[in-house]
Amino acid sequence: MSLIPYIEKHLTNGGKSWDICKHLINLVEGIPKAKIWRNQISNKSIKKELDIEYLLNLTSKLEKMGY
């Protein structure tokens, strides 16, 4: 995922993961379990519990499914 360095820099500078992830959630639609993926990203971001490893893990699951 090429946005990882950007997200890391944003978080290091005091930004919130939701600032970026609110745009990412709209990219995953029309595929199996997309709603679950969006909910996980949204919930973790809003609660300030989302870290880069978690995001990479969720994204790798999409890649394994062929997306």
* 29 secondary structure, DSSP code: -
User: pLDDT tens across 6-51, in order?
Assistant: 988 998 999 998 898 888 888 888 888 888 889 999 999 888 888 8
pLDDT score, position 12:
92
d(CA 7, CA 16): 9
pTM, full prediction: 0.70
C-beta of residue 42 within 8 angstroms of C-beta of residue 54: no
Beta strands in the chain (DSSP E): none
3-state class (DSSP) for residue 16: coil
User: Per-domain residue ranges for the chain?
Assistant: 4-64
Portion of the chain with pLDDT greater than 70, in percent: 99
CATH of domain 4-64: 1.20.120
